[in-house]
Amino acid sequence: MSQYDALFEPLNINKLTIRNRIVSTAHAEVYATDGGMTTDRYVKYYEEKAKGGCGLCICGGSSVVSIDSPQSWWSSVNLSTDRIIPHFQNLADAVHKHGGKIMIQITHMGRRSRWDGENWPNLMSPSGIREPVHRATCKTIEVEEIWRIVGDFVQAARRAKEGGLDGVELSAVHQHLVDQFWSPRVNKRTDEWGGTFEGRMKFGLEVAKAVRAEVGPDFVVGMRITGDEFHPDGLNHEDMKQIAKYYDDTGLIDYFGVVGSGCDTHNTLANVIPNMSYPPEPFLHLAAGIKEVVSVPVIHAQNIKDPNQAKRIIEAGYVDFVGMTRAHIADPHFIAKIKMDQVDQIRQCVGANYCIDRQYQGLDVLCIQNAATSREYMGLPHIIEKTTGPVRNIVVVGGGPGGMEAARVAAERGHKVTLLERAEELGGQITLASKAPQRDQIAGITRWLVMELDRLGVDVRLGTSADEELIKEFKPDVCILATGGRPFVEQNPEWGADEGLCVSSWDILSGKVEPGKNVLIYDTICEFSGMSAADYLASKGSLVELVTDDIKPGVGIGGTTFPTYYRSLYEKEVIMTSDMILEKVYREGGSLVAVLENEYTGQREERVVDQIVIENGTRPNEELYYALKEASYNKGQIDVEALFDIKPQPVLSEQVDGMILWRLGDCVSQRNTHAAMYDALRLCKDL
């Protein structure tokens, strides 16, 4: 008996029984190496989800069927060669072993790619219209090429089937070639492949017919579509219902996956993988609309992260399967924990979009808060086993994400763990980050860690400043410093930090300093902190100019997140200024004057404001480290070879006389949440 029974009612797609209603939908993993093969890392990543109970994994978002649809720049899966088949067999076996099912999304990207690499192809599109997100120019596809690509789809489907996968998903979403033909925004053809509704549908239909003919009636062939492109000249929801019904009526398609929003502008792309600024399931209504007109199961993902939310969606019958893809990236044991009655132990996705924002930079997908995800192949565990070695006395200093993770992992290992935190609450910089508008959900990282530390019985001492004496009192076997950093506002003495002419973004976000009326933020980092400080100030009514010496404010923020900042900042009329260096600040009467210099011309400008906020990153808090270093057994050193190899620190197997000292996170040098948590996990997992 469980409140989640609705999630655990199996449902068939075609003849394939899916054990529950939770799907990891297709996303680009950026793990396919060796020319787009699903190698060890890829297999282990999906095996972990299957082990954790996920019903269906649809892998390989945007896996290409043709050699002229490039995949190497983002390590996507390559189905254009028979070389993939044995790799698929490994993948299928690994997932099937745990009762899961696995399909792959197959596509030709058309204009939505990059041509500058791999085979240097001409990209193709129905009418040769450039795609802005990838700055992708392309040619108008010719009929011979259309038929060749239909054939490529057939071969790709055959390879998936021969590789033992349970099905293929034809991508007709995110402006891939199929929906480039669908959308009048892109398809301006007047031949039989465009013009009329049937003309625009023809390419997708030929693909579906040919693939079905190849794989036979029982092999699953699904289709992922948008529910509304959100472009005035694109496909709206009614158009999409018509399209879905049209394809459903052919009987060729076994399920529809529905995604809200088009994807070929920066702003619409942000909708596709809604970050923490979005409400829960913002586009469920679109999927439910499609479900009204089709006869086969409908899958919908997009900001469904919580088991109760998923259950409610299924119980209400909006869709048949919920996609919980990022939820599984954050915690591949999501389902197992529901089944174990450990819902409180689920590491919930916070919508930081670290995963997808890396993907759009062509980097491997990683989870901001779960460093084990996709590193299973290296031996990083999701479930940390108790040590069979000595139980150690561990003292962790600093309750930011790195320190909390270190304490958590050490406690899971069965050690006696004390966590000292100077502030009155845990969280470190995450607490600051969560103060900005639309960024509150980032605190979910802290929430989960706090609950875990409590469950594991870690002795958390808040309001405790650690010094050399205090550490000695604890007589730790291992002392881990994760003391973080502090704002580096004194880098340029001319900024006048010592005279109180400027404050840090931390001062603003923490509420320590009241927002000024007329504020200049100088942001050299161009990531979340500066944008968040600007958004925070603007939301408090300040007039804000966000100045950077970099190429644009927020340039370091990924493709699904900078648009939501921009929406908020433009709406609040924040002025964004690039390429200007803050040279000096001086006081003039009751005001402050900021002297800005254009990096490229040297031309100077002045701004008269009443508050100057500096975001210049952090300097490490390393005083305690150097106080403890000399007396420590290992002189504070970490064996990086062992660390990078995910091997136990050699010092742990030595006869240690004294205390082992390590430090991690920003108290070494400024990196990010993931970096600190990764170090914590790989250092402590063998503790």
Q: Which of 13, 14, 20, 31 binds another protein (CB under 8 A)?
A: 20
Residue 605 near another protein by CB under 8 A: no
The token pair at 481 is: 């410093």
Going residue by residue from 24 to 63, which x/- string records binding to another protein, judged by CB under 8 A? ----------------------------------------
CB closer to another protein, 61 vs 414: 414
95 alpha-carbon distance from chain centroid: 23
Site for another protein in 81-120 (CB under 8 A): 98-100
What spatial distance separates the first Cα and last Cα of the chain, rounded to whole Å?
Answer: 39
Residue 416 near another protein by CB under 8 A: no
Going residue by residue from 334 to 353, which x/- string records binding to another protein, judged by CB under 8 A? -----xxx------------
Residue 355: CB atoms within 10 A of its CB come to 29
Q: Cβ of residue 341: shortest distance to another protein, in angstroms?
A: 7
CA distance linking residue 565 with residue 306, whole number of Å: 24
Residue 251 near another protein by CB under 8 A: no
> Which residue from 358, 390, 354, 385 is spatially nearest to 369, judged by alpha carbons?
354
Q: Cβ of residue 8: shortest distance to another protein, in angstroms?
A: 6
The token pair at 137 is: 């120019």
Whole-angstrom CA distances from 358 to 74, 159, 326, 365, 396 are 10, 29, 13, 6, 30
Applying CB under 8 A, the span of 17-25, 194-202, 256-264, 581-589 interacting with another protein comes to: 17-25
Q: Cβ of residue 7: shortest distance to another protein, in angstroms?
A: 10
Q: Which of 232, 279, 388, 600 binds another protein (CB under 8 A)?
A: 388
CA 527-532-533 angle, to 5 degrees, is: 110
Residue 431 neighbours by CB under 8 Å, 6+ apart: 423, 425, 443, 446
* Size of residue set near another protein by CB under 8 A: 18
Q: Cβ of residue 380: shortest distance to another protein, in angstroms?
A: 21
| Three-state DSSP string of 107-156 | ECCCCCCCCCCCCCCCCEECCCCCECCCCECCEECCHHHHHHHHHHHHHH
CB closer to another protein, 249 vs 385: 385
Applying CB under 8 A, the span of 6-14, 140-148, 375-383, 516-524 interacting with another protein comes to: 6-14
CB closer to another protein, 4 vs 506: 4
Q: Cβ of residue 342: shortest distance to another protein, in angstroms?
A: 11
Q: Cβ of residue 337: shortest distance to another protein, in angstroms?
A: 11
CB closer to another protein, 1 vs 640: 1
Residue 10 near another protein by CB under 8 A: yes
H-assigned helices in 413-553: 429-433, 444-455, 468-474, 505-509, 528-539
Does residue 215 contact residue 168 with C-beta atoms inside 8 Å?
yes
Q: Cβ of residue 10: shortest distance to another protein, in angstroms?
A: 4
CA distance linking residue 424 with residue 311, whole number of Å: 36
What backbone phi and psi angles, to 5 degrees, belong to 422? -70, -40
Residue 2 near another protein by CB under 8 A: yes
Q: Cβ of residue 411: shortest distance to another protein, in angstroms?
A: 15
Q: Cβ of residue 672: shortest distance to another protein, in angstroms?
A: 36
Residue 8 near another protein by CB under 8 A: yes
* Strands (E) located in 524-666: 543-547, 575-577, 580-588, 591-598, 604-609, 611-615, 618-620, 660-663
What backbone phi and psi angles, to 5 degrees, belong to 682? -75, -25
Give the 3-state secondary structure of residue 337.
helix
Residue 119: CB atoms within 10 A of its CB come to 10
Site for another protein in 302-341 (CB under 8 A): 339-341
Residue 571 near another protein by CB under 8 A: no
Q: Cβ of residue 2: shortest distance to another protein, in angstroms?
A: 5
Residue 17 near another protein by CB under 8 A: yes
Residue 191 near another protein by CB under 8 A: no
Applying CB under 8 A, the span of 8-16, 201-209, 611-619, 677-685 interacting with another protein comes to: 8-16
Enclosing H/E stretch for 645: none
Applying CB under 8 A, the span of 7-15, 120-128, 320-328, 598-606 interacting with another protein comes to: 7-15
CA distance linking residue 679 with residue 224, whole number of Å: 38
Applying CB under 8 A, the span of 3-11, 142-150, 224-232, 544-552 interacting with another protein comes to: 3-11
Residue 143 near another protein by CB under 8 A: no
The token pair at 593 is: 């004057």
CB closer to another protein, 7 vs 614: 7
CB closer to another protein, 20 vs 505: 20
Residue 18 near another protein by CB under 8 A: yes
CA distance linking residue 655 with residue 615, whole number of Å: 45
Q: Provide the binding-site residues for another protein, judged by CB under 8 A.
A: 1-2, 4-5, 8-10, 17-20, 98-100, 339-341, 388
